[in-house]
């Protein structure tokens, strides 16, 4: 199309109304402004170009009577333009029409004057108020994305990538890039460079753009100065490079070769995982799963302190059983079968503040450690829905016993979680037999009582009250529940409820030594609080008396002053 015909307005059609426009030879209207389309040849696929995409077409332009006035075929070169740029490129009828086309499609568009050259025409070829016809073939298009919607970074996809995932800030990417000035002068080139996305590379545009790319994708970036080197420019770093003058744009060809996903395993960022090789499927180990791994543990200086699973059989351990350090336990739980990852584990989830002697080296106190781990296979612990009613009761009992073992080791937080896990297997007992319901009831009482003991040790007194109350709802005469709830209530200064529970417990078990001691503690607390209350209120009364005396004195003084003032005016 010759330059004087490239006069469109911004398009308003987005291709969303073309689901039944694939009938060859049937003319249909597009939108509400009189644009008509007749398909001459169907295209391929299901995609349509959108605003910002650069399209490549062949066309023939003619009047309604068939007289030709322009053709790209005569110039033996397809015509390219960018959709959605309005009058800077093509008439609005073209903008609206081409958005309805598929790759390879050929169509005849009848364009009314309002979507063509209007009342002015395009002298000397196009008269005013002329309806035009264009036979257009959409050869291809290149996707262009305005990344920040400000024109600062325009990305044109040269080669589509794989899958749908894109890198995130913590990820480590491997890229190739070549940056040039608008005149083609080379600024910088790298065959392969690896960097963490959030740390950036070369210029601000690279980490921004790479977060929009898929693995294997290659793109051309049109970068404005604010996302390049801004007002300062850039000095060359080698003889093969040139200076970037201040306020200069760049053309960057960028390819995302690959990347390693980095994720935080714990919410406090003390355990992180970098995937070196993706695993299979979607399944991951659960608590209680038996896993087989190969692993190498290293210090920050590269010293290997442990290596397991590289002999004839992999190293095996059970998740959530403290058979390995906590960070390794948590990290492996996030992995898929066949996955290879690097775990970075801070001391809080590793060996802590004490020196630890391992099989190949000593891990110093407060060390960050690194584990290269390959998850060979795993066997998950059965999910709740896979168990029979009797298996649920047996599993609940087993989890309760595990909690008891942890409690004896003074690992109260973990013991509490184990009791809660035990309860989850028997929480819903509608399918249980009467005998099973009775077994489940006893387990619930035992687990809630033990969990209350954990919460007392952890000084979580409100939760201790909650678990004891659950026991008493099921067994109102449970002395241990009354005793432990009284303990928690004393700490919460709910002395009335504490006294009620202790007196009831003593009524049920008058010789219980622990309850008697708690009652003695309660009476001491009551005396202590009574004494404090007396002192508190005594102080208040003293202050009130002083305030009344002060007010009385001030009142007398005020009266004297007023009398003197009145006398002076007499």
CA distance 114 to 259: 50
| CA 285 centroid distance within chain | 21
Catalytic annotation on 117?
Answer: yes
Nearest CA among 183, 186, 168 for reference residue 256? 168
Catalytic annotation on 59?
Answer: yes
Buried-state track 307-343, b at ≥16 Cβ within 10 A, e below 16: bbbeeeebbbbbbbeeebbbbbbbbbbbbbbebbbbb
- The structure tokens listed for 184 are 């083609």
CA distance 374 to 147: 37
3-class secondary-structure state, position 466: helix
**Helical H runs in 475-512?**
479-491, 495-508
3-class secondary-structure state, position 24: strand
Catalytic residue among 48, 134, 432, 461: 134
CA distance 90 to 2: 10
The helix or strand, by DSSP H or E, that contains position 81, with its residue range, turns out to be strand 79-82
Catalytic residue among 69, 148, 195, 370: 69
CA distance 163 to 169: 19
496's CB contacts (< 8 A; 6+ apart) are none
Between CA 153 and CA 160, with CA 158 as vertex, the angle to 5 degrees is 105
Catalytic residue among 117, 177, 317, 519: 117
Maximum CA extent, the chain: 118
Catalytic annotation on 349?
Answer: no
- The structure tokens listed for 214 are 């898929």
Catalytic residue among 30, 91, 136, 490: 91
62: which strand partners? 68, 133
Catalytic annotation on 91?
Answer: yes
Secondary structure E strands in 267-352: 271-277, 290-298, 304-308, 315-318, 340-345
The helix or strand, by DSSP H or E, that contains position 424, with its residue range, turns out to be helix 412-424
CA distance 89 to 83: 8
The helix or strand, by DSSP H or E, that contains position 188, with its residue range, turns out to be strand 186-196
Nearest CA among 48, 53, 76, 64 for reference residue 134? 64
Catalytic residue among 48, 53, 70, 305: 70
Catalytic residue among 13, 59, 202, 349: 59
Nearest CA among 435, 420, 434, 425 for reference residue 388? 425
The helix or strand, by DSSP H or E, that contains position 98, with its residue range, turns out to be helix 92-98
548's CB contacts (< 8 A; 6+ apart) are none
| DSSP secondary structure code for residue 515 in this structure | H
Catalytic annotation on 425?
Answer: no
36's CB contacts (< 8 A; 6+ apart) are 27, 28, 29, 30, 109, 110
Catalytic annotation on 70?
Answer: yes
- The structure tokens listed for 451 are 């969990």
CA distance 136 to 90: 13
Point out the residues that are catalytic.
Answer: 59, 69-70, 91, 117, 134
């Amino acid at each position: 199309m010759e330059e004087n015909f490239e006069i469109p307005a911004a398009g308003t059609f987005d291709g969303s109304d073309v689901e039944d426009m694939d009938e060859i030879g049937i003319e249909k209207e597009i939108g509400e402004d009189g644009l008509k389309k007749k398909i001459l040849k169907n295209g391929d696929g299901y995609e349509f170009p959108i605003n910002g995409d650069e399209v490549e077409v062949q066309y023939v332009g003619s009047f309604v009577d068939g007289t030709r006035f322009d053709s790209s075929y005569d110039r033996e070169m397809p015509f390219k333009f960018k959709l959605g740029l309005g009058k800077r490129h093509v008439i609005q009828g073209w903008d609206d029409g081409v958005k309805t086309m598929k790759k390879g499609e050929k169509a005849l568009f009848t364009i009314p004057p309002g979507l063509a050259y209007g009342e002015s025409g395009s002298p000397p070829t196009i008269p005013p108020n002329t309806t035009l016809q264009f036979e257009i073939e959409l050869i291809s298009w290149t996707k262009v994305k305005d990344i920040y919607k400000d024109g600062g970074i325009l990305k044109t996809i040269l080669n589509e990538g794989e899958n749908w995932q894109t890198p995130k800030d913590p990820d480590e990417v491997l890229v190739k890039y070549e940056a040039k000035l608008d005149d083609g002068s080379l600024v910088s080139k790298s065959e392969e460079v690896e960097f963490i996305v959030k740390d950036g590379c070369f210029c601000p545009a690279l980490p921004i753009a790479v977060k929009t790319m898929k693995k294997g994708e290659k793109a051309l970036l049109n970068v404005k100065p604010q996302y390049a080197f801004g007002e300062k420019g850039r000095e060359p770093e080698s003889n093969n490079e040139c200076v970037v003058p201040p306020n200069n744009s760049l053309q960057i060809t960028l390819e995302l070769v690959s990347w390693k996903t980095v994720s935080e395993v714990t919410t406090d960022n003390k355990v992180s995982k970098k995937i070196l090789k993706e695993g299979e499927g979607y399944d991951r180990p659960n608590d209680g799963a038996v896993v087989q791994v190969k692993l190498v543990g290293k210090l920050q200086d590269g010293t290997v302190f442990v290596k397991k699973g590289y002999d004839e059989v992999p190293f095996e351990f059970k998740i959530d059983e403290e058979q390995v350090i906590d960070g390794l336990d948590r990290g492996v739980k996030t992995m898929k079968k066949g996955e290879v990852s690097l775990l970075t584990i801070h001391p809080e989830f590793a060996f802590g503040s004490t020196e630890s002697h391992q099989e190949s080296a000593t891990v110093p106190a407060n060390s960050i450690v690194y584990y290269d781990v390959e998850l060979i296979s795993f066997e998950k612990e059965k999910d709740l829905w896979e168990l029979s009613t009797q298996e649920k009761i047996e599993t609940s009992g087993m989890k309760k016993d595990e909690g008891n073992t942890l409690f004896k080791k003074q690992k109260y937080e973990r013991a509490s979680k184990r009791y809660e896990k035990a309860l989850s297997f028997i929480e819903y007992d509608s399918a249980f037999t009467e005998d099973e319901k009775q077994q489940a009831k006893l387990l619930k009482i035992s687990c809630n009582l033990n969990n209350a003991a954990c919460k007392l040790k952890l000084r979580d007194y409100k939760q201790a009250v909650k678990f004891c109350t659950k026991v008493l709802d099921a067994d109102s005469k449970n002395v241990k529940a009354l005793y432990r709830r009284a303990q928690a209530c004393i700490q919460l200064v709910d002395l009335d409820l504490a006294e009620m529970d202790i007196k009831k417990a003593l009524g049920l078990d008058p010789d219980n030594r622990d309850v008697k001691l708690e009652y003695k503690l309660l009476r001491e607390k009551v005396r202590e609080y009574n004494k404090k209350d007396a002192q508190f209120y005594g102080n208040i009364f003293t202050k009130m008396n002083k305030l009344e005396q002060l007010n009385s004195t001030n009142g007398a003084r005020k009266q004297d002053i007023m009398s003197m003032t009145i006398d002076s005016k007499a």
